[in-house]
Chains A and B, each alone.
Chain A
Protein backbone atom coordinates (compact mmCIF):
# COMPACT_ATOMS: atom_id res chain seq x y z
CA UNK A 1 0.00 0.00 0.00
CA UNK A 2 2.82 2.37 0.91
CA UNK A 3 4.75 1.62 -2.30
CA UNK A 4 1.55 2.17 -4.29
CA UNK A 5 1.04 5.57 -2.67
CA UNK A 6 4.68 6.46 -3.33
CA UNK A 7 4.57 5.57 -7.01
CA UNK A 8 1.06 6.93 -7.64
CA UNK A 9 2.09 10.59 -8.24
CA UNK A 10 4.57 9.54 -10.96
CA UNK A 11 1.92 7.43 -12.68
CA UNK A 12 -0.54 10.33 -12.51
CA UNK A 13 1.99 12.75 -14.02
CA UNK A 14 2.86 10.27 -16.81
CA UNK A 15 -0.78 9.71 -17.77
CA UNK A 16 -1.44 13.48 -17.61
CA UNK A 17 1.44 14.19 -19.97
CA UNK A 18 0.38 11.50 -22.46
CA UNK A 19 -3.23 12.70 -22.47
CA UNK A 20 -2.35 16.42 -22.68
CA UNK A 21 -0.01 15.79 -25.63
CA UNK A 22 -2.65 13.58 -27.28
CA UNK A 23 -5.32 16.24 -26.71
CA UNK A 24 -3.04 19.01 -28.02
CA UNK A 25 -1.98 17.06 -31.13
CA UNK A 26 -5.43 15.66 -31.85
CA UNK A 27 -7.22 18.84 -30.75
CA UNK A 28 -10.58 17.13 -31.03
CA UNK A 29 -13.42 17.10 -28.56
CA UNK A 30 -13.09 13.35 -27.92
CA UNK A 31 -9.43 13.70 -26.89
CA UNK A 32 -10.38 16.57 -24.57
CA UNK A 33 -13.14 14.40 -23.10
CA UNK A 34 -10.66 11.60 -22.35
CA UNK A 35 -8.32 14.13 -20.73
CA UNK A 36 -11.28 15.42 -18.69
CA UNK A 37 -12.24 11.90 -17.66
CA UNK A 38 -8.72 11.16 -16.50
CA UNK A 39 -8.66 14.46 -14.66
CA UNK A 40 -11.94 13.62 -12.92
CA UNK A 41 -10.46 10.30 -11.87
CA UNK A 42 -7.39 12.08 -10.48
CA UNK A 43 -9.66 14.41 -8.49
CA UNK A 44 -11.48 11.45 -6.95
CA UNK A 45 -8.15 9.72 -6.19
CA UNK A 46 -6.92 12.94 -4.54
CA UNK A 47 -10.09 13.17 -2.46
CA UNK A 48 -10.52 9.52 -1.46
CA UNK A 49 -7.14 7.77 -1.71
CA UNK A 50 -4.26 10.20 -1.30
CA UNK A 51 -3.65 11.62 2.19
CA UNK A 52 -4.26 15.33 2.82
CA UNK A 53 -2.32 15.10 6.07
CA UNK A 54 0.55 12.74 6.84
CA UNK A 55 1.77 12.26 10.39
CA UNK A 56 4.53 10.42 12.18
CA UNK A 57 1.87 8.41 14.02
CA UNK A 58 2.03 7.01 17.52
CA UNK A 59 5.84 6.71 17.61
CA UNK A 60 6.46 10.37 16.76
CA UNK A 61 3.69 11.59 19.06
CA UNK A 62 4.98 9.64 22.05
CA UNK A 63 8.64 10.40 21.35
CA UNK A 64 7.97 14.13 21.11
CA UNK A 65 5.87 14.27 24.26
CA UNK A 66 8.61 12.34 26.01
CA UNK A 67 11.32 14.72 24.79
CA UNK A 68 9.30 17.75 25.84
CA UNK A 69 8.43 16.43 29.27
CA UNK A 70 12.09 15.66 29.96
CA UNK A 71 13.37 19.02 28.73
CA UNK A 72 14.62 21.28 31.55
CA UNK A 73 12.93 24.33 30.03
CA UNK A 74 9.53 22.86 30.74
CA UNK A 75 10.44 21.61 34.17
CA UNK A 76 11.25 25.20 35.08
CA UNK A 77 8.13 26.48 33.36
CA UNK A 78 5.91 24.08 35.26
CA UNK A 79 7.44 25.13 38.55
CA UNK A 80 6.63 28.80 37.86
CA UNK A 81 3.20 28.43 36.31
CA UNK A 82 0.36 26.92 38.30
CA UNK A 83 -1.07 24.18 36.13
CA UNK A 84 -4.72 24.70 37.06
CA UNK A 85 -4.64 28.30 35.77
CA UNK A 86 -3.60 27.39 32.28
CA UNK A 87 -5.27 24.03 31.88
CA UNK A 88 -8.37 25.41 30.21
CA UNK A 89 -6.44 27.56 27.77
CA UNK A 90 -3.72 25.25 26.55
CA UNK A 91 -4.68 21.81 27.79
CA UNK A 92 -2.85 19.79 25.18
CA UNK A 93 0.65 21.10 25.82
CA UNK A 94 0.38 20.79 29.57
CA UNK A 95 -1.40 17.49 29.31
CA UNK A 96 1.35 15.86 27.33
CA UNK A 97 4.37 17.34 29.03
CA UNK A 98 3.13 16.40 32.47
CA UNK A 99 2.45 12.81 31.43
CA UNK A 100 4.75 9.94 30.73
CA UNK A 101 4.57 8.51 27.24
CA UNK A 102 2.71 5.41 28.37
CA UNK A 103 -0.04 7.54 29.89
CA UNK A 104 -0.65 9.70 26.82
CA UNK A 105 -3.98 8.02 26.02
CA UNK A 106 -5.35 8.91 29.45
CA UNK A 107 -3.98 12.44 29.22
CA UNK A 108 -5.60 13.01 25.84
CA UNK A 109 -8.94 11.93 27.28
CA UNK A 110 -8.70 14.77 29.79
CA UNK A 111 -8.56 17.49 27.15
CA UNK A 112 -11.80 19.45 27.52
CA UNK A 113 -11.92 20.83 23.96
CA UNK A 114 -13.61 18.20 21.77
CA UNK A 115 -12.04 19.32 18.47
CA UNK A 116 -8.50 19.24 19.88
CA UNK A 117 -9.10 15.88 21.57
CA UNK A 118 -10.46 14.30 18.37
CA UNK A 119 -7.62 15.67 16.28
CA UNK A 120 -5.00 14.47 18.79
CA UNK A 121 -6.50 10.98 18.79
CA UNK A 122 -6.72 10.88 15.00
CA UNK A 123 -3.18 12.08 14.32
CA UNK A 124 -1.77 9.75 16.95
CA UNK A 125 -3.52 6.69 15.56
CA UNK A 126 -3.26 7.28 11.79
CA UNK A 127 -0.33 8.24 9.63
CA UNK A 128 -2.39 9.06 6.51
CA UNK A 129 -5.57 11.15 6.77
CA UNK A 130 -7.73 11.55 3.66
CA UNK A 131 -9.91 14.54 2.86
CA UNK A 132 -13.28 12.98 3.68
CA UNK A 133 -12.04 12.12 7.18
CA UNK A 134 -11.23 15.79 7.78
CA UNK A 135 -14.88 16.76 7.29
CA UNK A 136 -15.75 15.57 10.78
CA UNK A 137 -12.63 17.11 12.34
CA UNK A 138 -12.70 20.78 11.38
CA UNK A 139 -15.40 22.42 13.44
CA UNK A 140 -16.25 25.89 14.68
CA UNK A 141 -13.93 28.50 13.23
CA UNK A 142 -12.39 25.88 10.95
CA UNK A 143 -15.67 24.90 9.31
CA UNK A 144 -14.53 26.72 6.15
CA UNK A 145 -12.26 23.76 5.40
CA UNK A 146 -15.16 21.38 5.91
CA UNK A 147 -17.38 23.33 3.51
CA UNK A 148 -14.57 23.58 0.95
CA UNK A 149 -14.00 19.81 1.02
CA UNK A 150 -17.72 19.03 0.71
CA UNK A 151 -18.16 21.45 -2.22
CA UNK A 152 -15.01 20.13 -3.91
CA UNK A 153 -16.24 16.57 -3.46
CA UNK A 154 -19.64 17.34 -5.02
CA UNK A 155 -17.95 19.34 -7.81
CA UNK A 156 -15.58 16.43 -8.56
CA UNK A 157 -18.42 13.88 -8.70
CA UNK A 158 -20.48 16.06 -11.07
CA UNK A 159 -17.40 16.72 -13.17
CA UNK A 160 -16.47 13.01 -13.31
CA UNK A 161 -19.96 11.83 -14.33
CA UNK A 162 -20.26 14.66 -16.85
CA UNK A 163 -16.95 13.56 -18.43
CA UNK A 164 -18.06 9.91 -18.52
CA UNK A 165 -21.24 10.98 -20.31
CA UNK A 166 -19.17 13.13 -22.67
CA UNK A 167 -16.84 10.26 -23.54
CA UNK A 168 -19.76 7.96 -24.41
CA UNK A 169 -21.57 10.81 -26.21
CA UNK A 170 -24.57 10.84 -23.87
CA UNK A 171 -23.94 14.08 -22.00
CA UNK A 172 -26.43 16.06 -24.07
CA UNK A 173 -29.20 13.73 -22.85
CA UNK A 174 -28.40 13.94 -19.16
CA UNK A 175 -26.66 17.27 -18.53
CA UNK A 176 -28.16 20.63 -19.55
CA UNK A 177 -25.97 23.07 -21.50
CA UNK A 178 -25.82 25.55 -18.63
CA UNK A 179 -24.24 22.98 -16.36
CA UNK A 180 -20.80 23.45 -17.91
CA UNK A 181 -20.88 27.14 -17.02
CA UNK A 182 -22.25 26.44 -13.54
CA UNK A 183 -19.44 23.93 -12.92
CA UNK A 184 -16.89 26.40 -14.28
CA UNK A 185 -18.25 29.16 -12.03
CA UNK A 186 -18.11 27.04 -8.88
CA UNK A 187 -14.64 25.84 -9.91
CA UNK A 188 -13.39 29.42 -10.22
CA UNK A 189 -14.66 30.11 -6.69
CA UNK A 190 -13.02 26.94 -5.39
CA UNK A 191 -9.52 27.72 -6.74
CA UNK A 192 -8.60 30.47 -4.23
CA UNK A 193 -10.25 28.51 -1.41
CA UNK A 194 -8.21 25.35 -2.05
CA UNK A 195 -5.10 27.48 -2.56
CA UNK A 196 -5.74 29.21 0.78
CA UNK A 197 -6.10 25.92 2.65
CA UNK A 198 -3.17 24.24 0.88
CA UNK A 199 -0.42 25.35 3.32
CA UNK A 200 -2.56 25.17 6.48
CA UNK A 201 -4.53 21.96 6.03
CA UNK A 202 -2.23 20.21 8.54
CA UNK A 203 -3.70 22.48 11.25
CA UNK A 204 -7.26 21.89 9.97
CA UNK A 205 -7.33 25.33 8.38
CA UNK A 206 -6.93 27.07 11.74
CA UNK A 207 -4.18 29.68 11.68
CA UNK A 208 -4.02 30.74 15.31
CA UNK A 209 -5.44 28.07 17.60
CA UNK A 210 -2.52 27.03 19.72
CA UNK A 211 -3.97 23.67 20.80
CA UNK A 212 -4.44 22.45 17.21
CA UNK A 213 -0.97 23.69 16.20
CA UNK A 214 0.49 21.87 19.19
CA UNK A 215 -1.23 18.61 18.21
CA UNK A 216 0.10 19.02 14.65
CA UNK A 217 3.60 19.59 16.01
CA UNK A 218 3.48 16.64 18.40
CA UNK A 219 2.20 14.27 15.72
CA UNK A 220 4.71 15.58 13.15
CA UNK A 221 1.75 16.46 10.89
CA UNK A 222 2.58 17.68 7.39
CA UNK A 223 0.56 18.61 4.34
CA UNK A 224 0.07 15.47 2.25
CA UNK A 225 0.03 15.15 -1.55
CA UNK A 226 -3.78 14.84 -1.75
CA UNK A 227 -4.62 18.54 -1.58
CA UNK A 228 -1.87 19.40 -4.09
CA UNK A 229 -3.29 16.91 -6.60
CA UNK A 230 -6.80 18.15 -5.91
CA UNK A 231 -5.62 21.67 -6.76
CA UNK A 232 -3.97 20.50 -10.00
CA UNK A 233 -7.09 18.50 -10.90
CA UNK A 234 -9.28 21.51 -10.22
CA UNK A 235 -7.17 23.80 -12.43
CA UNK A 236 -6.96 21.34 -15.35
CA UNK A 237 -10.66 20.56 -14.89
CA UNK A 238 -11.46 24.25 -15.26
CA UNK A 239 -9.36 24.53 -18.42
CA UNK A 240 -11.07 21.46 -19.92
CA UNK A 241 -14.49 22.87 -19.04
CA UNK A 242 -13.76 26.28 -20.52
CA UNK A 243 -12.23 25.13 -23.82
CA UNK A 244 -14.30 22.01 -24.52
CA UNK A 245 -16.82 22.53 -27.28
CA UNK A 246 -20.20 20.95 -26.61
CA UNK A 247 -21.59 21.40 -30.08
CA UNK A 248 -18.87 19.33 -31.74
CA UNK A 249 -18.63 16.74 -28.98
CA UNK A 250 -22.20 15.69 -29.56
CA UNK A 251 -21.01 14.03 -32.75
CA UNK A 252 -18.58 11.62 -31.05
Chain B
Protein backbone atom coordinates (compact mmCIF):
# COMPACT_ATOMS: atom_id res chain seq x y z
CA UNK B 1 0.00 0.00 0.00
CA UNK B 2 2.84 2.35 0.89
CA UNK B 3 4.50 1.56 -2.46
CA UNK B 4 1.34 2.55 -4.30
CA UNK B 5 1.05 5.80 -2.36
CA UNK B 6 4.70 6.74 -2.90
CA UNK B 7 4.58 5.92 -6.61
CA UNK B 8 1.26 7.71 -7.08
CA UNK B 9 2.31 10.95 -5.42
CA UNK B 10 5.80 10.90 -6.97
CA UNK B 11 4.16 10.48 -10.42
CA UNK B 12 1.66 13.21 -9.65
CA UNK B 13 4.38 15.60 -8.51
CA UNK B 14 6.54 14.93 -11.57
CA UNK B 15 3.59 15.26 -13.96
CA UNK B 16 2.47 18.53 -12.35
CA UNK B 17 6.03 19.87 -12.41
CA UNK B 18 6.38 18.91 -16.06
CA UNK B 19 3.09 20.51 -17.13
CA UNK B 20 3.39 23.68 -15.05
CA UNK B 21 4.12 26.79 -17.15
CA UNK B 22 5.09 24.56 -20.03
CA UNK B 23 4.51 27.35 -22.53
CA UNK B 24 7.48 29.40 -21.44
CA UNK B 25 9.73 26.54 -20.43
CA UNK B 26 13.41 26.72 -21.35
CA UNK B 27 14.35 23.63 -19.40
CA UNK B 28 14.77 20.58 -21.64
CA UNK B 29 15.58 18.37 -18.70
CA UNK B 30 12.34 19.27 -16.92
CA UNK B 31 10.27 18.56 -20.02
CA UNK B 32 11.79 15.16 -20.72
CA UNK B 33 12.30 13.92 -17.15
CA UNK B 34 8.81 12.40 -16.53
CA UNK B 35 8.91 10.60 -19.88
CA UNK B 36 12.40 9.22 -19.24
CA UNK B 37 11.61 8.09 -15.69
CA UNK B 38 8.30 6.61 -16.88
CA UNK B 39 10.00 4.66 -19.67
CA UNK B 40 12.66 3.30 -17.30
CA UNK B 41 10.03 2.41 -14.67
CA UNK B 42 7.95 0.53 -17.27
CA UNK B 43 10.99 -1.40 -18.47
CA UNK B 44 12.28 -2.14 -14.97
CA UNK B 45 8.83 -3.02 -13.58
CA UNK B 46 8.01 -5.37 -16.44
CA UNK B 47 11.29 -7.25 -16.77
CA UNK B 48 12.83 -7.25 -13.30
CA UNK B 49 10.16 -6.90 -10.60
CA UNK B 50 7.63 -9.57 -9.66
CA UNK B 51 4.11 -9.22 -11.05
CA UNK B 52 2.91 -12.34 -9.26
CA UNK B 53 4.29 -13.64 -5.97
CA UNK B 54 3.88 -17.12 -4.55
CA UNK B 55 3.81 -17.83 -0.85
CA UNK B 56 3.47 -21.61 -0.47
CA UNK B 57 5.38 -21.46 2.81
CA UNK B 58 2.68 -19.21 4.26
CA UNK B 59 0.11 -21.78 3.27
CA UNK B 60 2.11 -24.57 4.83
CA UNK B 61 2.63 -22.63 8.06
CA UNK B 62 -1.02 -21.59 8.35
CA UNK B 63 -2.76 -24.71 7.14
CA UNK B 64 -0.84 -27.86 7.74
CA UNK B 65 1.82 -27.14 10.36
CA UNK B 66 1.90 -30.65 11.74
CA UNK B 67 2.78 -32.20 8.42
CA UNK B 68 5.74 -29.89 7.95
CA UNK B 69 6.90 -29.72 11.53
CA UNK B 70 9.31 -32.62 11.28
CA UNK B 71 10.32 -32.42 7.66
CA UNK B 72 10.52 -29.21 5.66
CA UNK B 73 10.47 -26.75 8.57
CA UNK B 74 12.89 -28.85 10.54
CA UNK B 75 15.34 -28.72 7.64
CA UNK B 76 14.75 -24.99 7.14
CA UNK B 77 15.28 -24.26 10.83
CA UNK B 78 18.53 -26.25 10.75
CA UNK B 79 19.75 -24.29 7.70
CA UNK B 80 18.84 -20.95 9.30
CA UNK B 81 20.60 -21.86 12.53
CA UNK B 82 23.72 -22.75 10.59
CA UNK B 83 23.69 -19.45 8.69
CA UNK B 84 23.23 -17.09 11.63
CA UNK B 85 20.86 -14.10 11.84
CA UNK B 86 22.25 -11.82 9.14
CA UNK B 87 22.72 -14.50 6.53
CA UNK B 88 19.42 -16.15 7.45
CA UNK B 89 17.54 -12.96 6.53
CA UNK B 90 19.46 -12.81 3.25
CA UNK B 91 18.67 -16.47 2.58
CA UNK B 92 14.95 -15.95 3.22
CA UNK B 93 14.83 -12.89 0.97
CA UNK B 94 16.56 -14.92 -1.74
CA UNK B 95 13.92 -17.69 -1.43
CA UNK B 96 11.15 -15.09 -1.56
CA UNK B 97 12.60 -13.42 -4.65
CA UNK B 98 12.73 -16.80 -6.39
CA UNK B 99 9.03 -17.30 -5.74
CA UNK B 100 7.92 -14.42 -7.95
CA UNK B 101 7.34 -13.97 -11.65
CA UNK B 102 8.11 -10.76 -13.56
CA UNK B 103 5.68 -9.61 -16.24
CA UNK B 104 7.43 -11.31 -19.15
CA UNK B 105 7.46 -14.68 -17.33
CA UNK B 106 3.78 -14.32 -16.50
CA UNK B 107 3.16 -14.84 -20.22
CA UNK B 108 4.30 -18.43 -19.84
CA UNK B 109 2.08 -19.40 -16.92
CA UNK B 110 -1.24 -17.69 -17.64
CA UNK B 111 -3.82 -19.85 -19.42
CA UNK B 112 -4.23 -19.38 -23.15
CA UNK B 113 -7.87 -18.40 -22.61
CA UNK B 114 -6.70 -15.09 -21.13
CA UNK B 115 -6.07 -13.65 -24.60
CA UNK B 116 -6.47 -9.98 -23.65
CA UNK B 117 -3.95 -10.30 -20.83
CA UNK B 118 -1.48 -12.02 -23.15
CA UNK B 119 -1.84 -9.27 -25.76
CA UNK B 120 -1.37 -6.62 -23.09
CA UNK B 121 1.74 -8.28 -21.66
CA UNK B 122 3.25 -8.67 -25.14
CA UNK B 123 2.52 -5.06 -26.04
CA UNK B 124 3.94 -3.72 -22.75
CA UNK B 125 7.08 -5.82 -23.23
CA UNK B 126 7.51 -4.63 -26.82
CA UNK B 127 6.72 -0.96 -26.21
CA UNK B 128 8.80 -0.72 -23.02
CA UNK B 129 11.91 -1.14 -25.23
CA UNK B 130 10.63 1.52 -27.61
CA UNK B 131 9.79 3.91 -24.76
CA UNK B 132 13.35 3.68 -23.41
CA UNK B 133 14.92 4.10 -26.85
CA UNK B 134 12.58 6.97 -27.69
CA UNK B 135 13.26 8.76 -24.42
CA UNK B 136 16.95 8.88 -25.40
CA UNK B 137 16.33 9.81 -29.06
CA UNK B 138 13.78 12.54 -28.26
CA UNK B 139 16.36 14.37 -26.17
CA UNK B 140 18.64 14.98 -29.16
CA UNK B 141 16.12 15.21 -32.02
CA UNK B 142 14.75 18.46 -33.40
CA UNK B 143 11.03 19.08 -32.74
CA UNK B 144 9.88 18.02 -36.20
CA UNK B 145 6.33 16.87 -37.06
CA UNK B 146 7.69 13.31 -36.92
CA UNK B 147 8.70 13.77 -33.28
CA UNK B 148 5.29 15.23 -32.50
CA UNK B 149 3.52 12.34 -34.25
CA UNK B 150 5.53 9.73 -32.34
CA UNK B 151 4.84 11.56 -29.06
CA UNK B 152 1.09 11.60 -29.78
CA UNK B 153 1.22 7.91 -30.76
CA UNK B 154 3.10 6.91 -27.59
CA UNK B 155 0.76 9.03 -25.44
CA UNK B 156 -2.29 7.20 -26.83
CA UNK B 157 -0.66 3.76 -26.56
CA UNK B 158 0.53 4.47 -23.01
CA UNK B 159 -2.91 5.53 -21.82
CA UNK B 160 -4.60 2.54 -23.51
CA UNK B 161 -2.07 0.15 -21.95
CA UNK B 162 -2.57 1.75 -18.51
CA UNK B 163 -6.38 1.55 -18.80
CA UNK B 164 -6.21 -2.11 -19.89
CA UNK B 165 -3.79 -2.89 -17.07
CA UNK B 166 -6.19 -1.37 -14.50
CA UNK B 167 -9.05 -3.35 -16.06
CA UNK B 168 -7.04 -6.59 -15.82
CA UNK B 169 -5.70 -6.08 -12.27
CA UNK B 170 -8.15 -8.62 -10.74
CA UNK B 171 -7.18 -11.19 -13.40
CA UNK B 172 -3.46 -10.73 -12.66
CA UNK B 173 -4.09 -10.95 -8.91
CA UNK B 174 -5.85 -14.29 -9.37
CA UNK B 175 -3.11 -15.60 -11.71
CA UNK B 176 -5.58 -15.65 -14.61
CA UNK B 177 -7.55 -18.31 -12.83
CA UNK B 178 -10.97 -16.70 -12.46
CA UNK B 179 -13.75 -19.16 -13.16
CA UNK B 180 -11.60 -22.29 -13.35
CA UNK B 181 -11.97 -24.36 -10.21
CA UNK B 182 -8.72 -26.33 -10.06
CA UNK B 183 -6.58 -23.45 -11.23
CA UNK B 184 -8.22 -21.21 -8.63
CA UNK B 185 -7.56 -23.85 -6.03
CA UNK B 186 -3.91 -24.19 -7.02
CA UNK B 187 -3.62 -20.38 -6.81
CA UNK B 188 -5.13 -20.55 -3.33
CA UNK B 189 -2.70 -23.24 -2.17
CA UNK B 190 0.30 -21.47 -3.71
CA UNK B 191 -0.72 -18.23 -2.02
CA UNK B 192 -0.67 -16.28 -5.30
CA UNK B 193 -0.60 -12.49 -4.84
CA UNK B 194 0.02 -9.54 -7.11
CA UNK B 195 3.54 -8.13 -6.80
CA UNK B 196 4.77 -4.55 -6.84
CA UNK B 197 6.00 -4.88 -10.46
CA UNK B 198 2.44 -4.23 -11.66
CA UNK B 199 2.24 -0.92 -9.78
CA UNK B 200 5.70 0.19 -10.96
CA UNK B 201 4.79 -0.62 -14.57
CA UNK B 202 1.39 1.08 -14.29
CA UNK B 203 2.79 4.33 -12.92
CA UNK B 204 5.65 4.11 -15.44
CA UNK B 205 3.16 3.89 -18.29
CA UNK B 206 1.13 6.82 -16.98
CA UNK B 207 4.19 8.95 -16.33
CA UNK B 208 5.62 8.18 -19.76
CA UNK B 209 2.30 9.03 -21.45
CA UNK B 210 2.00 12.32 -19.51
CA UNK B 211 5.64 13.14 -20.37
CA UNK B 212 5.04 12.60 -24.08
CA UNK B 213 1.83 14.61 -23.84
CA UNK B 214 3.71 17.48 -22.17
CA UNK B 215 6.21 17.49 -25.03
CA UNK B 216 3.39 17.63 -27.58
CA UNK B 217 1.81 20.59 -25.76
CA UNK B 218 5.10 22.48 -25.54
CA UNK B 219 5.71 21.98 -29.29
CA UNK B 220 2.17 23.07 -30.17
CA UNK B 221 2.46 26.17 -27.99
CA UNK B 222 5.81 27.04 -29.51
CA UNK B 223 4.46 26.59 -33.02
CA UNK B 224 1.38 28.70 -32.37
CA UNK B 225 3.60 31.41 -30.89
CA UNK B 226 5.89 31.21 -33.92
CA UNK B 227 8.94 30.55 -31.79
CA UNK B 228 10.41 27.84 -33.99
CA UNK B 229 10.68 26.86 -37.63
CA UNK B 230 10.43 23.22 -38.64
CA UNK B 231 13.26 23.43 -41.15
CA UNK B 232 15.82 25.71 -39.59
CA UNK B 233 15.81 25.97 -35.87
CA UNK B 234 17.34 23.39 -33.57
CA UNK B 235 15.68 21.91 -30.56
CA UNK B 236 17.91 23.74 -28.13
CA UNK B 237 17.49 27.11 -29.86
CA UNK B 238 13.72 26.65 -29.65
CA UNK B 239 13.89 26.35 -25.93
CA UNK B 240 16.45 29.09 -25.41
CA UNK B 241 14.44 31.42 -27.65
CA UNK B 242 11.57 31.15 -25.18
Contact = CB atoms under 8 A, between A and B. Distances in A.
Interface of A: 64, 67-68, 77, 80-82, 85-86, 89-90, 93, 144, 188, 191-192, 195-196, 198-200, 202, 207-208, 210, 213-214, 217, 220, 222-223, 228, 231
B55 A86 contact: no
Contact of A192 (B4, B58, B65, B193): B4
A67 B66 CA distance: 25
A195 B11 CA distance: 15
Contacts of B66: 81-82, 85-86
Nearest to A56: B179
Contacts, number: 70
22 contacts: A64-B181, A80-B67, A81-B66, A85-B66, A86-B66, A89-B63, A90-B63, A144-B1, A191-B8, A192-B9, A196-B4, A198-B169, A199-B172, A208-B55, A208-B191, A210-B62, A213-B188, A220-B181, A220-B184, A222-B174, A222-B179, A228-B167
B178 interface: yes
A223 B63 contact: no
B8 to A, nearest CB: 4
Contacts of B191: 208
Interface string B44-67: 000000000001001100111111
Interface of B is mostly: helix
A86 B64 contact: yes
A80 B67 CA distance: 8
Nearest to B12: A188
B203 to A, nearest CB: 10
Nearest to A191: B8
A223 B178 CA distance: 10
B173 interface: yes
B5 interface: yes
A81 B64 contact: yes
Contacts of B62: 89-90, 210
B93 to A, nearest CB: 17
A199 B170 contact: yes
Contacts of A85: 65-66
A217 B185 contact: yes
B209 interface: no
Contacts of B181: 64, 67, 220
Given A80-B67, A89-B63, A199-B194, A192 B170 contact: no
B170 A223 contact: yes
A166 B66 CA distance: 64
Contacts of B58: 208, 210
Interface centre among B172, B181, B193 (most CB of A within 10 A): B181
B64 A77 contact: yes
Contacts of A213: 188
Contacts of B65: 85-86, 89
Report the 10 A-B pairs with minimum CB-CB distance, sorted nearest first: A199-B173, A223-B170, A199-B169, A192-B8, A199-B170, A192-B4, A217-B188, A90-B63, A210-B62, A196-B4
A11 B63 CA distance: 46
B185 A210 contact: no
Nearest to B5: A192
Contacts of A77: 64
Contacts of A210: 58-59, 62-63, 188
Nearest to A68: B185
B59 A222 contact: no
A89 B184 CA distance: 21
A208 B193 contact: yes
Given A192-B4, A198-B166, 10 more contacts: A80-B67, A81-B64, A86-B63, A86-B64, A192-B8, A195-B166, A196-B1, A208-B191, A208-B193, A222-B174
Contact of B4 (A67, A195, A202): A195
Contacts of B4: 192, 195-196
Nearest to B191: A208
Nearest to B7: A192
B60 to A, nearest CB: 11
Contact of A200 (B5, B55, B173, B185): B173
Contacts of B8: 191-192, 195
Contacts of B172: 199
B185 to A, nearest CB: 6
A64 B181 CA distance: 8
A213 B177 CA distance: 13
A188 B8 CA distance: 10
A90 B185 CA distance: 15
A200 B167 CA distance: 13
